Structure 1
């Protein structure tokens, strides 16, 4: 399977930290999505790049059959431990190994930016039954908060030039030229059969601690692949940034402000 080096190695090393430090998604977002598609008993949904199952476990609440696809063995193993009732297989978004026309919906939560868009869309078209939908979900940082902006700056400054990045604009705000949010939308325009992209946005404040916010950074794929000495320097820099803001100074409970951005589009 072809997987970006940062994801293949980084998430292999950081599967446990990934599960502990990353937020879930609002139940209101799941409820609206389930009504819109719909997702219910008797329907089947494929979860691409399912990771440790952060969104998979919510999909399972709808009663639909969930088929999770995850290429990184350590992430897949954690998902299987947490969700023994969900079928999980080794595959990629470009080559899932699943049978054609098996899905009423295909979901990619916090993962679409890792995929080769044209090949992934071809695979989604193969998997979907007529009238089925593709759903893309991201938790994005609210960078209107000063400490979050400084925190995210570390992430992007350390990212290699070829690192796929999630959309930066939260809450449906304006998108700059070159923003990954523009690129994924344009991929649909070049392919026949896709409808209008629908979207909803929800605030998703995540109750956490300063220590876990540090670990959230360390679970980032391109940082998890660094050698121990460089990781120690990154950890120290993150702690210094958090220590410079009143809201994150100390070691107590804090709120990490996210927005959950949900997009869905139907295919003929």
Structure 2
């Protein structure tokens, strides 16, 4: 399987900015997954599309052995620098290169929407031991906040038609049906999808909110002139809202959405 051009080139260019500008995840979400899957010493979890290790470092706290899979070399290198105790391998969700039955659980944080669902599910089924589980995690914008909605509107207006998009959250408590669920509807062996959601405010700066946009794969892949125009537009939008007009700290409101299901 090949990596989408926007991810392969965009994340190659923006690995450092990605690590600096993206939020982590609530410890409560990790604790819930650790109990549900479960994750503990003596068990093995595969982290698909691990990126720079934003969620990988939390998985390592459970005591489970973590196998990180990341196809973009620059992201994988950053993960290896930050987490030298975690095995990081070059592979895709559809073709990890890992042995059959090597995992008690598989996790994809901020990445499942990039995968070809049927092929990725076949690979997950191959990796899982009997009774294993798959967990999908996303940080989504709380667009009930006006400046966040305007910010996200830029992201989607500039996205190419074939760009895979993460699930959308219209606001806390409003979680819309999303396309990834459809892959499980006709697939045998999977139990019901369970889910939980947590507020995840990310204290940052206006400058880093701008960098958050610039780390988006389809923005990072643009030429320098186009990137400058995007940066100027984001700065203009942020300057139009009281909450993001200052140069001090700002809370960027995310919701962390966690889904898990058991196989076999």
Q: TM-score, normalised by structure 1?
A: 0.97
* Helix, strand or coil at the partner of 2:108: strand
Are residues 1:262 and 2:263 paired? no
In the alignment, what sits opposite 1:39? 39
Q: Deviations over 1:188-231 (max 9, x none)?
A: 01110000000000000000000000000000000000000000
* Helix, strand or coil at the partner of 1:25: coil
In the alignment, what sits opposite 2:19? 19
In the alignment, what sits opposite 1:75? 75
* Helix, strand or coil at the partner of 2:174: coil
* Helix, strand or coil at the partner of 2:247: coil
In the alignment, what sits opposite 2:144? 144
Please give the alpha-carbon distance, in whole angstroms, between the structure 2 residues aligned to 1:229 and 1:190. 45
Compute the displacement of 1:171 (Å).
4.8
In the alignment, what sits opposite 1:190? 186
Please give the alpha-carbon distance, in whole angstroms, between the structure 2 residues aligned to 1:78 and 1:150. 31
Compute the displacement of 1:250 (Å).
2.1
Compute the displacement of 1:251 (Å).
1.1
Q: Which runs of 4+ in 1 moved over 6 A?
A: none
Q: Is the 8 A contact 1:12 1:74 kept in 2?
A: yes
Are residues 1:123 and 2:119 paired? no
Q: Is the 8 A contact 2:168 2:175 kept in 1?
A: no
Please give the alpha-carbon distance, in whole angstroms, between the structure 2 residues aligned to 1:8 and 1:89. 16
Please give the alpha-carbon distance, in whole angstroms, between the structure 1 residues aligned to 2:181 and 2:60. 27
> 1:157-168 counterparts in 2 under 5 A?
157-168=157-168
Please give the alpha-carbon distance, in whole angstroms, between the structure 1 residues aligned to 2:59 and 2:236. 38
In the alignment, what sits opposite 1:173? 174
Aligned length: 263
Compute the displacement of 1:173 (Å).
2.3
Please give the alpha-carbon distance, in whole angstroms, between the structure 1 residues aligned to 2:2 and 2:188. 26
Please give the alpha-carbon distance, in whole angstroms, between the structure 2 residues aligned to 1:38 and 1:192. 22
Please give the alpha-carbon distance, in whole angstroms, between the structure 1 residues aligned to 2:163 and 2:149. 19
Q: Is the 8 A contact 1:172 1:261 kept in 2?
A: no
Q: Is the 8 A contact 1:140 1:260 kept in 2?
A: yes
Q: Deviations over 1:211-259 (max 9, x none)?
A: 0000000000000000000000000000000000000002110000000
Q: Is the 8 A contact 1:142 1:258 kept in 2?
A: yes
Q: Is the 8 A contact 1:137 1:262 kept in 2?
A: yes
Comparing 161-170 and 13-22, the one that deviates more = 161-170
* Helix, strand or coil at the partner of 2:13: helix
Please give the alpha-carbon distance, in whole angstroms, between the structure 2 residues aligned to 1:54 and 1:129. 25
> 1:194-209 counterparts in 2 under 5 A?
194-209=190-205
Please give the alpha-carbon distance, in whole angstroms, between the structure 1 residues aligned to 2:110 and 2:178. 16
